[in-house]
Amino acid sequence: MKLILLQNVKSLGKAGDVVNVSDGYARNMLLPKGIAVEANDKNKNDLKLKKQHEEKLAADRLQDAKDLAKKLEGIKITVKMKAGENGKAFGSVSSKEIAEAAKAQHALELDKKKIQLDEPIRTFGMHEVPIRLHPEVTGTLYVLVQEA
C-alpha cells in the first residue's frame, strides 16, 4: 500500500515521502496513529501544494535575511565600557549587550544567539561582528567600544 508520511518514521522515511508498506502495517500502525495518509490523488496534490508553500516561505525568509544584511552594512553601534588601570578595558562586551545596543540605537531586533562572537570583546576600538541571519546569509555589524 502506498502512503504519504506525515511525520518522520525511523527506517521508513521523512515527512512528505511517498512510501510503499505492507497493508497490515499501514492499517494497524501508520493510519490509526495519524502518521501517514493514503497516497491518493487528492493527498498527493495537497502534499505538492504544501511543498510549494514551504518553498515560497523559505525563499521569503532568505530574501528578508539578505535585505537585513544590506541594512547592517552601514550601521555602527557604540558601546561604552569602563576603563581600568592604564586605560585598559575593565570587563567585556557580550553578544547580549550588542543586541541591546542595536535595539536602543537603531531599533534593530537582533537575536543574541545569532551574533557570532568567538569570545567577548575586551578591547577598545572598532570591531567587526559577524551576525548569522540565515544559514546562507551572514551580515557584518560594526561595534565601536568606547571608554565610559
Find residue 128's DSSP bridge partners. Answer: 142
Q: Could you tell me the mean pLDDT of each successive run of 10 residues in the chain, 148 residues long?
A: 94 92 95 94 94 95 92 90 80 90 91 90 90 92 89
Rounded CA separation 142/92 (Å): 16
Those residues whose C-beta lies under 8 Å from the C-beta of residue 116, and which sit 6 or more positions away, are 129, 130, 131, 132, 138
Q: What is the DSSP letter of 33?
A: T
| C-alpha cell recorded at residue 42 | 487528492
pTM higher than 0.75: no
Specify the 3-state DSSP secondary structure of 17.
coil
